[in-house]
Structure 1
Amino acid sequence: MIGAGMGALAAAARLAVAGHRVVVHERTDTYGGALRRLERDGFSFDTGPGLLPLPAVYRDLFVKTGKEPLEHCVDLVQVDPSSRHVFADGTRVSLPNASRAGVVAALDEALGSGAGKRWGDFLVRAREAWDRTRRPLLEEPLWPNWQVLAEREPYPAVPHKRLLRTRRAGTLAEVGAWELRDARLTALLESHALAHGLDPRTTPASAAVLPYMEHAFGTWYVRGGLRELARAVYERCLARKVEFRFGADVTGVLEKDGRASGVELADGTVAEADFVIAGVAPGTLDRLSAQAVVRGDGDVPPQPATASRVTVLLALRGARPEGTAHRTVVHAADREAELDALFGPAARNPRPTVTVLRPDDPELVPDPEHEAVTLTTVVPARPGESCDALTESMITVAERAIPDLRDRLLWQEVRTPADIAEATGAEGGAVPVPALAADGGRLLHPSNNTRVPGLFAVGGWAHPGGGLPHAGMSGALVAGLIVEGPEFRGSQ
């Protein structure tokens, strides 16, 4: 196995339980891919994802690979409120976790009568899109006729009369403009796409499943940080006798008699194998293989590396105030300027949308009189650019959620796209997006099978795409394809 990201770890544990000897070669000195941790002066921060949607994927992994369930290995807690939003006009709203009635009431109170109903009706339609795409886009290997997913828009948009024509929303931005009809509700909707580095003006309406997943399955946090989830999966692998070789840089995939037969390492050694699983970006996998692995007529084309993240880690003096929301999204004052800066040729927006994470977790701080805060924003995947000005802008934006932020600041650390590239190997520090239907397949990911028999792709750059739940499912799919063969059709 090449790489020790979360998808690879999930596949390794499942294959070991099925009786395979699994050896993982990881070029860095640790496991977990993007799930890293920074520790300094008694503070601890996640430098990758900070929240876990759809924990059922990892609950299933632990059920299928041992006696101890997930909750016995990590302290999994539901975040409530799910999120707090600070909109451009100063309006603020806190949204309860996994409660449609609570969310409707909160939106009506904050945004005015009728806002909650429009959002609630949207979630009903989003559920239809989820029901239509859940299995093919999350639980099953990519269909050979994946073009069916690419051509059909699963979101049942409401007919909208515009001049003399009746139209239906085809993009997320159109859903917001035509169905939600409130700039703040539109910002709420689009923030779910923006968090994945997607432009709502071009992202298909099928992305409605992103807010629906959070609404239906809740938002979760792992006590001690999401790095603890990586630790738990890694320890489950060790318990199932998976072998790890860190600092082992794979330079090539070996082939014999037309199929993968092992890997070659940078030190010239060779590791033979019946199957090779690669948790790397498609371009990297192509360079490792003697033939083009995931490109060709009829294949899903690899996604371009477009968006990354900048994360600012803040050590604050003073206790976390009672009643503070775990997650606050501070929306950009100028939506179009932000989108143009991210997805067009314009200069970087000086006031981006910033997500502020303030966990109520004593394990992250040296004592109760300090607070660990994480700020995150989306940026283009352009390594090498200075983030100094952006960091200052992010802190200024975050002051709308934490007014005394600068007075309390002890020190800060910044994680850039270059750091993500170092941790994950992704070009430009790009972060893969979840697979989405429609739009000609632009947001689908290459199949877990490759053109080389015996060689499989796992992780965020393979089906079903980026995000912790999707990475976990990619591991389940690859394990199923190896154990059961081509007839494997996914979890039941």
Structure 2
Amino acid sequence: MARIAVIGAGMGAMAAAARLAVAGHRVAVYERTETYGGAVRRFERDGFGFDTGPGLLAVPAVYRDLFIKTGKEPLEACVELVQVDPSARHVFADGTEASLPNASRAGVVAALDEALGAGAGGRWGDFLIRARETWDRTRRPLLEEPLWPNWQVLAEREPYPAVPHKRLLRTRRAGTLAEVGAWELRDPRLVALLESHALAYGLDPGTAPANAAVLPYMEHAFGTWYVRGGMRELARVVYERCLARKVEFRFGVEVTGILEKDGRAAGLELAGAEGPSVAEADLVVGTGPWRLGELTHGRELYAPEGIKPTHEGASPGRVVVCLALSGARDADAAHRTVVHTPDRQAELEAFGRGEPAARPTVVMDRPDDPALRPDDAHESMVLTATVPSQARYDWEAAGAAEAFADGMVAAAERALPGLRERALWREVRTPVHTRLETGAEGGAVPAPALAAAEGSFLRPSNSTSLAGLFTVGGWSHPGGGLPHAGMSGALVAGLIVEGPEFQGSQ
């Protein structure tokens, strides 16, 4: 039985902690804030509640597996999972709307044909078939297995299939997501639908590899799910599963360094209300690889031929606007509405300059959940937009956050006229809040790992060159997103329990 110190109480860290405790190890989690969950947070005021992190869950099987492997109670015995339908309503630049059924290819094809015209649904349906082929090729190496030592194999070839062109009597392989849209979808509204899944993670479709097609495919194939009571409930039950497995949590304690002894990680240097201290351990499960470099005093944690950590602040962040509304929620309202920018090119160019878009794409979440509103005469709503992180844009400048929030509300009114008149108050949260809650540089949000593109979208491996030190969470393999965080915990636990020969979940 080993003593294992875990840095941070994010979703990936807690997933690893629970699995390691079940394997018989003594696990202690050290979290610098006063709560658990990382980015999966809730803001509450006046009887209103708002999810300020992920609003929906894709691939719930990841967390079902966590609960199966760590106790007798399955996930559904701890929380109520609701498959939202439609999966999303889309309001496009020209005012066209389409509501897409959840996890139904035939339903989505029919809905797009009706909304966008005959043939649109067929093109999207054909794309989903190719996206499934991409998923089948990349699922294990990018989600279920430790990063291959010969990761170059993943980086060299684009797994998105080549598309035949009858007139040209040849096939053409898209290299970027933008090329997939331009060559295969051809309708600007379908292109916006495709690219919105990349933009949600701050990925530029012009540089994101074509295999980013797996992002919309994951939602289509496995559905989009809501946790009754708010997504924060998922974090709560994972935390409680850790407690049930005797994981120790110490909140309000910041890790300032990693102890080394005889060339191995040997514990943590800590700073808390009671002053500096140390926590000895046999193994350490760390936070993002970029920050681990500082905690190990600049030690090179990855071999020269390995994937290197990139500055977290270079990745985008999110602005979240929590709206407390008077008036009942419409009975037929979609849980999620995506309001696409009227000027997609301008939005992408703003990202490139490190500026927030003047007219951003906005995601509107309207959960039908009595737990998040004071009564049925009110409604809680969350607006989200992808923006540059605090490392690239000064979100603390006077008026910057409020001005951008005004633009988000104006965008949302395209989908829900009269929204501003219903607002009792709002809370605006920027990458500054994300940095304080998660520790990520600039309040950035990590994207999932992707293949091809010379490895530039891969994340560093979960094992490091310092024996006994592992990394977990969205900044290491397999990247960001709730499913990926859960899988990172499974991978780290496997590497520790089974050793370097661990080949991934079965």
TM-score by length of 2: 0.95
Match of residue 343, structure 1, among 341, 352, 360? 352
Q: Does 1:299 align with 2:306?
A: yes
Any conservation in 1 of the 2:59–2:223 contact (CA below 8 Å)?
yes
Partner of 1:176: 181
Deviation at 1:407, TM superposition (A): 1.2
**Structure 2 Cα separation of the partners of residues 458 and 159 of structure 1:** 40
Which residue does the alignment assign to 1:11?
16
What's the secondary structure of 1:410's corresponding residue? strand
The answer to whether residue 418 in structure 2 is matched with residue 404 in structure 1 is yes
Report what 1:227 is aligned to.
Answer: 232
1:445-478 Cα offsets, whole Å, 9 max, x none, are 0000011010000000110000000000000000
Evaluate the alpha carbon distance shift between residue 293 and residue 74 of structure 1 in structure 2; reply closer, same or farther with a 3 A threshold. farther
CA contact (8 A) 2:293 2:299 kept: yes
Alignment of 1:49-448 (within 5 A): 49-159=54-164, 167-266=172-271, 267-278=275-286, 280-304=287-311, 305-344=314-353, 348-382=356-390, 384-385=394-395, 386-448=400-462
Post-superposition offset of 1:303: 3.3
Q: Counterparts of 2:62 and 2:474 in 1: how far apart (Å)?
A: 15
- Superposition pairs of residues 25-44 of structure 1, within 5 angstroms: 25-44=30-49
Amino acid at match of 2:389: A
Once the 2 structures are TM-superposed, how far is the Cα of residue 291 of structure 1 from its aligned partner?
4.8
Q: d(CA) in 2 for partners of 1:181 and 1:122?
A: 12
Superposition deviation, residue 349 in structure 1: 2.3
1:111-165 Cα shifts (integer Å, max 9, x gaps):
1111011000000000010000000000000000001001110000314599999
Q: Cα RMSD between the aligned structures? A: 1.5
Once the two structures are TM-superposed, the CA of residue 166 in structure 1 deviates from its matched residue by 6.5
> Structure 1 pair 332/427, CA: closer, same or farther in 2 (3 Å)?
same
Query: Secondary structure of 2:7's match?
Result: coil
Give 1:297 deviation, angstroms. Answer: 1.1
Distance across 2 between alignment mates of 1:448 and 1:110: 44
Query: Structure 1 162/444 Cα, relative in aligned 2: closer, same or farther at 3 Å?
Result: farther
Find the residue that maps to 2:337 and give its secondary structure.
strand
Q: Describe the SS at the equivalent of 1:153.
A: coil
**2-side partners of 1:274 and 1:90: how far apart?**
59
CA contact (8 A) 2:58 2:219 kept: yes
SS in structure 1 opposite 2:363?
strand
The DSSP-based 3-state class of the residue aligned with 2:470 is strand
Q: Which amino acid aligns with 1:303?
A: T
Cα displacement string for residues 275-316 of structure 1 (whole angstroms, at most 9, x for unaligned residues): 0001x2222100001453434411102234320000000000
Give the letter aligned to residue 231 of structure 2: L
Decide whether aligned partners of structure 1 residues 56 and 418 sit closer, same or farther in structure 2, where only a CA change above 3 A counts: same
Q: C-alpha deviations, 1:329-348, integer Å up to 9, x for none?
A: 00000110000001236x53
Aligned partner of residue 382 in structure 2, secondary structure: strand
Is there any run of 5+ residues in structure 2 with no aligned partner, and where?
A: 1-5
Q: 1:293 to 1:467 in 2, by over 3 A?
A: farther
Q: Is the 8 A contact 1:160 1:168 kept in 2?
A: no
Q: Which moved more, 1:375-384 or 1:2-11?
A: 375-384
Which amino acid letter does the alignment assign opposite residue 408 of structure 1? R
- Which amino acid is the alignment partner of residue 338 of structure 2? V
More displaced stretch, 384-393 vs 356-365: 384-393
Of residues 297-306 and 171-180 in structure 1, the stretch that sits farther from structure 2 once superposed is 297-306
The equivalent residue for 1:459 is 473
SS of equivalent residue, structure 1 residue 235: helix
Structure 1 position 237, deviation (Å): 0.3
Say if 2:357 and 2:387, in contact at 8 Å, map to a contact too.
Answer: no
Supply the distance in 2 between the matched residues of 1:159 and 1:141 (Cα, whole angstroms). Answer: 34
Residue 456 of structure 2 aligns with an amino acid whose one-letter code is R
State how far apart, in whole Å, the 1-side matches of 2:165 and 2:379 are.
Answer: 48
AA of the residue aligned to 1:362: P
1:132 & 1:311 partners in 2: Cα distance?
Answer: 34
Q: Deviations over 1:75-111 (max 9, x none)?
A: 1100100000000001000000000000000000001
Alignment CA distance shift 1:17-1:164 (3 Å): closer
The answer (yes or no) to whether the contact 1:281–1:425 under 8 Å persists in 2 is no
Any conservation in 2 of the 1:294–1:446 contact (CA below 8 Å)? no
| C-alpha contact (below 8 Å) 1:161/1:167 kept by paired residues | no
Q: Are the counterparts in 2 of residues 417 and 428 from structure 1 also a CA contact under 8 Å?
A: yes
Check if 1:479 corresponds to 2:493: yes
Residue type matched to 1:324 in 2? A
- Secondary structure at 1:269 match in 2: strand
How much identity, in percent, do the aligned residues show?
73
Q: CA deviation at 1:322?
A: 1.1
* Aligned AA (2:53): G
Count of aligned pairs between the two proteins = 490
Give structure 1 stretches of 5+ with no counterpart: none
Per-residue deviation, residues 405-430 of structure 1 (Å, max 9, x unmatched): 01111000011000000001011101
Question: What SS is found at the alignment partner of 2:268?
Answer: strand
Give 1:59 deviation, angstroms.
0.2
Q: 1:312–1:413: 8 Å Cα contact kept in structure 2?
A: yes
